[in-house]
């Protein structure tokens, strides 16, 4: 980005922030959904799912922090307020009730998928804008796909 004019840099930073904001908000939502399922999961696989959900929540918060720190390092604030999360994600769709492990896993997979969609857009669009930001997005995407795989393995029958 340093070879660009100030105006071009400003536009690039604005675009990076616009691409990362929905990622950060959906990662926060994933952490909330994951913790809700962590507390309420039931069934024969309780302990393994309970512990895995704790790891996924930790990962989501770390990923949100990495994406947010990238935006802040570029000079802009991020919006991870509860209002932004509620408005821009499906945060309100999780009810406070006990739930069987397979159903809880499917809910968390859905929250991961909600992050993956804007993240894939970010990966695609950041390559020409800011390769460092793209690298951050690629790292998050790879880690989320691994978490999704671990969850899916708990409910896969093949």
Q: Which pLDDT tens digit goes with each residue over 34-56?
A: 999 999 999 999 999 999 999 99
Whether the per-residue pLDDT at 20 is higher than 90: the answer is yes
Kindly report, residue by residue over 81-108, the tens digit of the pLDDT: 999 998 888 755 688 999 999 999 999 9
- Residues whose CB is less than 8 angstroms from the CB of residue 45 and which lie 6 or more positions away in sequence, other chains included: 101, 154
Kindly report, residue by residue over 131-152, the tens digit of the pLDDT: 999 999 999 999 999 999 999 9
* Whether the Cβ atoms of residue 13 and residue 76 lie closer than 8 Å to each other: yes
Kindly report the CATH class assigned to 13-155.
mainly alpha
> What pTM was estimated for this model as a whole?
0.92
Whether the per-residue pLDDT at 5 is higher than 70: the answer is no
* Whether the Cβ atoms of residue 16 and residue 126 lie closer than 8 Å to each other: yes
Whether the per-residue pLDDT at 18 is higher than 60: the answer is yes
The full set of domain ranges for the chain reads 13-155
Residue of 156, 31, 43 lying closest to 98 (CA atoms): 43
């Amino acid at each position: 980005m340093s070879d660009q004019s100030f105006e071009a840099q400003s536009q690039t930073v604005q675009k990076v922030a616009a691409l990362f904001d929905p990622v950060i908000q959906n990662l926060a939502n994933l952490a909330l959904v994951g913790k809700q399922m962590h507390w309420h999961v039931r069934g024969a696989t309780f302990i393994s799912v309970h512990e895995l959900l704790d790891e996924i929540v930790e990962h989501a918060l770390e990923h949100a922090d990495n994406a947010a720190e990238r935006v802040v390092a570029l000079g802009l604030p991020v919006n991870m307020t509860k209002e932004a999360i509620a408005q821009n994600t499906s945060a309100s769709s999780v009810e406070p009730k006990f739930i069987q492990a397979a159903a809880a896993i499917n809910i968390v997979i859905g929250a991961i998928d909600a992050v993956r969609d804007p993240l894939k857009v970010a990966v695609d669009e950041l390559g020409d804008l800011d390769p460092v930001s793209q690298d951050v997005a690629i790292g998050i995407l790879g880690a989320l796909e691994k978490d999704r795989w671990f969850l899916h393995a708990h409910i896969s029958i093949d």
